[in-house]
Amino acid sequence: MIRIDYAAAREGVQLAYQHRPGRGPTLMFLPGYASDMSGTKASALADWAQRTGRASLLFDYGGCGLSSGDFEAQSFRDWLGDALYLIDHVVPEGPILLVGSSMGGWLMLHLAIARPHRVTALVGIAAAPDFTGWGFTLEQKAQIARDGRLEEPNPYGPEPTVTTRTFFESAEAHRLLHVEIPVDCPVRLIHGMRDSDVPPQYAAELMAKLRSGDVQTILVKQGDHRLSRGQDIDLLIETVSNLLD
């Protein structure tokens, strides 16, 4: 049985997390939008960390997965605060290697900016910084502003994907690609060339904007947005392992 702990990060929200102590930097996984720590990539990374004696930290954002809270009341700022809370209170000492999937790749940049003395490396999986700017049509943006929410079919599950005005406006206030991104640690960006949700061009744009001189983009020719095939997981673990070594 995997032990799940809870942290009272903010009023009305108990954050579910799974922390396994170990050697070296703590591997902290940041899920994508409306995703959680039970996903294939997060589970595979935590299992590898356990087998190799590495420290790891998985968690669910407020309103997602096993964490309490109303999903539609959550903002980008709330989820950034959730991640910062866990860094400061669950693993308050030692280096951290962040692995961010899709929206988690946007959050990991803000975490590296906020805690530069703690974050030693970043690995983005189909990282999607600023997706509120380029990921919605003008009509969809207008609907969010007018109705307060947008509901779309979810290609990855039975429940529709809901984007609220609360989340959208908060995320817009945290956009990064318009300026140099003050991150100086090593960064690896893994991106599928068949990613229809986050076009690979945004990996190149992010690479150009990062201040760090140690940035590599790894393109997977047959990879889609999820990058959850066996060979994709192997590539992720190899990339993380090389950074740790």
Confidence tier at 1 by pLDDT (50, 70, 90): low
Taking CA atoms, 30 is separated from 70, 117, 122, in Å, by: 19, 19, 11
**Average pLDDT of the residues of the chain:** 96
Residue 51 belongs to domain spanning: 5-244
State the catalytic residues: 102, 195, 225
Q: What is the pTM of this model?
A: 0.97
Taking CA atoms, 221 is separated from 128, 131, 190, 192, in Å, by: 18, 22, 11, 6
CATH number at residue 166: 3.40.50.1820
Burial readout 63-84 (b: 16 or more C-beta within 10 A, e: otherwise): bbbbbebeeeebbbbbbbbbbb
Helix (H) or strand (E) holding 18: strand 13-20
Over residues 172-182, mean pLDDT: 98
Q: Which residue has the tokens 């809901």?
A: 162
Residues 6+ apart with CB under 8 A from 119: 95, 96, 97, 98, 108, 111, 112, 185
For 13-27, the pLDDT digits (tens) are 999 999 999 999 999
Over residues 93-121, mean pLDDT: 98
Residue 99 burial by Cβ neighbours in a 10 Å radius (0-12, 13-18, 19+): buried
For 188-218, the pLDDT digits (tens) are 999 999 999 999 999 999 999 999 999 999 9
Residue 217 burial by Cβ neighbours in a 10 Å radius (0-12, 13-18, 19+): middle
**Tally of structural domains, the chain:** 1
Taking CA atoms, 199 is separated from 134, 171, 203, in Å, by: 10, 19, 8
Q: Which residue has the tokens 């070594």?
A: 245
